[in-house]
Amino acid sequence: MSSTVSILPLRVQHLAFEANGTQLLDDVGFTLEAGRRTVLLGPNGAGKSLLLRLCHGLLRPTSGKIQWSAGAQRATRQQAMVFQRPVMLRRSTISNITHALAVRGVAREKRKARAESALEIAGLAELARRPARLLSGGEQQRLALARAWATEPDILFLDEPCASLDPAATHYVEALIEGFHADGTKIFMATHDLMQARRIGDEILFLHKGRLLESGDATAFFVQPKTKEGRAFIAGELLW
């Protein structure tokens, strides 16, 4: 959370992504406001990871617009992403965080303190000196979250952060996400897990085969989905 004004809302219009002649995302449009937790829900292969990467600037859209409410430079600095398989540098746990801070241009004397408080929050303070790649899957994902948190983003992209975690580790990660949210960071999380979407989502974007079929209030979506694909997904009948 920067002291200055947020880079949100994010406006996405007529977004399309095509690769090798296949339309993987087609005419996707939505607006992300600060505050509420947005869950990008959809079955495997719907295009959730693609959409997150496009929004975060890791991929270029074939057509369409992705507009932040801030200049490009500030917009890139004020966002962070946690991947499904966390990227762990071949360094100690704490160095994984100080490295990210250094890349982001945080002054040297501030890095250690900020990294330590991030580790504290993620329950990793004891493991600060351990090589990050020797941490368990759950610990690695918590480190990835702590690292993202330390860079103080306005918005955090999460791509199925719990997909390969057991229930206890999932619970821990979800609690951290909750903490980010309480702190004022916008959460934009992709998941295929209906139960997780119910637990975390304030609003739902429902993606199916590269098309955004529904978007809006989470309760409304779960109680009364507008599309037959939405109904089928909630009933557990939509397998792909």
Partner 1 sequence: MDTFVTAFAEAGALLVSFDLGFLSIVGLSMRISLTAVVLACLIGFPLGAIVALTHFPGRGAVTLLLNTFMGLPPVVVGLIVFLLLSRAGPLGVLGLLFTPAAMIIAQTILVTPIIAALTRQITSDLWIEYGEHLRSLNASPLGTVVTLIADARYSLATVVLAGFGRAIAEVGAVMIVGGNIDHATRVMTTAIALETSKGNLSTALGLGIVLMALALAANAAVQLINSRAQRRAALA
Compute CA 62 distance to the chain's CA centroid, rounded to the nearest angstrom: 22
C-alpha to C-alpha distance for 75 and 85, rounded to whole angstroms: 24
Per rule CB under 6 A, is residue 81 in the interface with ligand ADP? no
Question: Given candidates 6, 38, 49, 98, which one binds ligand ADP under the rule CB under 6 A?
Answer: 49
C-alpha to C-alpha distance for 126 and 9, rounded to whole angstroms: 38
C-alpha to C-alpha distance for 131 and 116, rounded to whole angstroms: 15
Question: Given candidates 11, 36, 99, 226, which one binds partner 1 under the rule CB under 8 A?
Answer: 99
Residues of span 30-69 touching partner 1 by CB under 8 A? 56, 58
C-alpha to C-alpha distance for 204 and 122, rounded to whole angstroms: 26
Contact window for Mg ion (CB under 5 A) among 9-17, 41-49, 96-104, 106-114: 41-49
List 208's β-bridge partners, or say none: 211
- Residue 14 beta carbon to partner 1: minimum distance, rounded to whole angstroms: 25
Mention every residue, 6+ apart, whose C-beta is less than 8 A from residue 73: none
The counts of H helices and E strands in the chain are 9, 9
Per rule CB under 8 A, is residue 77 in the interface with partner 1? yes
Per rule CB under 5 A, is residue 49 in the interface with Mg ion? yes
Pull the structure tokens for residue 152: 């103080």
Contact window for ligand ADP (CB under 6 A) among 38-46, 60-68, 150-158, 175-183: 38-46
Contact window for ligand ADP (CB under 6 A) among 42-50, 87-95, 117-125, 198-206: 42-50
Per rule CB under 8 A, is residue 224 in the interface with partner 1? no
Mention every residue, 6+ apart, whose C-beta is less than 8 A from residue 39: 189, 190, 191, 196, 197, 200, 201, 203, 204, 205, 218
Q: What is the DSSP letter of 185?
A: P
Which CB atom, from 5 or from 102, has the smaller least distance to partner 1? 102
**Among all chains, which residue has been given the structure tokens 């330390």?**
150
Contact window for partner 1 (CB under 8 A) among 7-15, 20-28, 61-69, 72-80: 72-80
Per rule CB under 6 A, is residue 61 in the interface with ligand ADP? no
Residue count of the chain: 240
C-alpha to C-alpha distance for 96 and 77, rounded to whole angstroms: 18
- Residue 81 beta carbon to Mg ion: minimum distance, rounded to whole angstroms: 12
Per rule CB under 6 A, is residue 224 in the interface with ligand ADP? no
Per rule CB under 5 A, is residue 151 in the interface with Mg ion? no
Query: What is the binding site for partner 1 (CB under 8 A)?
Result: 56, 58, 76-77, 80-81, 83, 87-91, 99-100, 102-104, 131-134, 151
**Which positions touch ligand ADP (CB under 6 A)?**
19, 24, 42, 44-50
Contacts to Mg ion by CB under 5 A: 49
